[in-house]
Amino acid sequence: MPGQTRTGIGYDSHRFAPGGPMTLGGVSVPSAVHLAGHSDGDAVAHALTDAILGAAAAGDIGTLFPDTDPANKARDSIEMLALAVVRVLDNGFVVVNADITVIAEQPKILPYRDAMRERIAAVLRVAVGAVSIKGKTNEGMGWVGRGEGLACIAVAAVAAVEQRRTAQPVTDQPMTDQL
């Protein structure tokens, strides 16, 4: 139904591993550590990918980009987000906005926030003002508070459009390079 709005929530977390830099929101952040993961470990992109896919009932990051597929080893997570946007469009929706919270003791998000917002907005095909990114600490509590890694929560809204890109919605086939 055109105009229908849906909301999705995404979550991701990764441990820190020696050697930087780290990638967050498609931006290289100078650091002595990086985020360990099968892909490039970009927890911001991963959480947001799940949020937009969930909002459109279009699958999830693990199904579309399985870690059992060698093509996803060290893959650019912003590329996966871009492919997820295509999947959302294929299901008859456009992204409206995104709100992202990074939970970490380090790195501080503020110095990189604007660059992340710009990069993510371009991929989502929305205005920069439709992307919010915040950094929070865990006040020294738990594995995040001990500096073992970071977590990210993302909320995204999508709106139904009048015409789909494809005749049938797609939800569960792994994605290849379809851009």
Q: Is the pLDDT of residue 29 over 60?
A: yes
Could you tell me if residue 171 is inside a domain? Answer: no
Q: What is the mean pLDDT of the chain?
A: 91
Domain with 45, as residue range(s), is 5-160
Could you tell me if residue 169 is inside a domain? Answer: no
Could you tell me if residue 135 is inside a domain? Answer: yes
* Residue 22 pLDDT level (bands cut at 50, 70, 90): very high
* Residue 73 pLDDT level (bands cut at 50, 70, 90): confident
pLDDT digits (tens, 9 = 90+) for 74-118: 788 999 999 999 999 999 999 999 999 999 999 999 999 999 999
- Tokens (6 digits) for 68: 């059992």
Give the domain CATH number at 53: 3.30.1330.50
Q: What is the mean pLDDT of residues 128-150?
A: 98
Could you tell me if residue 51 is inside a domain? Answer: yes
Asked if 96 and 159 count as a contact pair (C-beta separation under 8 A), the reply is yes
Looking at residue 37, what is its pLDDT?
Answer: 86
Count of domains for the chain = 1
pTM assigned to the model? 0.90
pLDDT digits (tens, 9 = 90+) for 159-175: 999 766 554 445 555 55
* Residue 179 pLDDT level (bands cut at 50, 70, 90): very low
Q: What order do you get walking across the sheet with 5-18 strand by strand?
A: 33-35, 5-18, 149-160, 93-103, 131-136
DSSP-derived secondary structure for 60-81: -HHHHS-TTSGGGTT--HHHHH
